[in-house]
Amino acid sequence: MTKVIPLLLIIGTIFPPDRTDLMDLLPDIEFVDKSCSGIDYPAVMSVYDPTLGGWNCDDDCTTVSTGLLEDWMYEVAGACPMELLGQTVYFPAIDHTLECVDTGPAIKASWSERDNQCVVYFDTLWHLEKEGEQILGAPYWNWWFLEDWGTK
């Protein structure tokens, strides 16, 4: 529950109406720690296609972190947090298995304003098409919040 404290502003100085009322509010203040360490959080899954360039890859769009980008990787491999590189991750809600062959600066645990909590980001290689500024061909689960996931 949010409490509203009426304040009186006089020449740049704020005076609370009653100091005891203000002090009573302090135990109700909830501070949210938005620093996300480790990877023990729900996942958010998205897709990318390095052949489109731009934000989909770094300077060399023909490689992933483990070597050359190969056609077999599409739809079954992608970017995972650095700690999972070389491992296999499974997402039961979408029945999707991901081989961790790539990573990137945004592929980590971080605070999600949308989900109001820490999440760990994953990015599956996917054949996408660009039509003007629009990206087409993403799967139905693109940007889904997935509470259950784990390594195989």
From CA 43, how far away is CA 81, in angstroms rounded? 11
- CA 31 and chain centroid, separation: 21
- Show me where the domains of the chain are located: 43-151
Q: Is 35 helix (H, G, I), strand (E, B) or coil?
A: coil
Mean pLDDT on 78-99? 97
From CA 77, how far away is CA 65, in angstroms rounded? 12
From CA 120, how far away is CA 108, in angstroms rounded? 5
Residue 43 is given by DSSP the state E
Phi-psi sector, 137: left (phi>0), alpha (psi -120 to 50), beta: left
Q: Check if the beta carbon of residue 135 is closer than 8 Å to that of residue 52.
A: yes
More confident: 23 or 147 = 147
From CA 104, how far away is CA 31, in angstroms rounded? 30
From CA 56, how far away is CA 50, in angstroms rounded? 5
Residue 65's pLDDT is 95
Rg (CA), the chain: 22
- Does the structure show a pLDDT above 80 at 138? yes
- Does the structure show a pLDDT above 60 at 22? no
Residue 8's pLDDT is 44
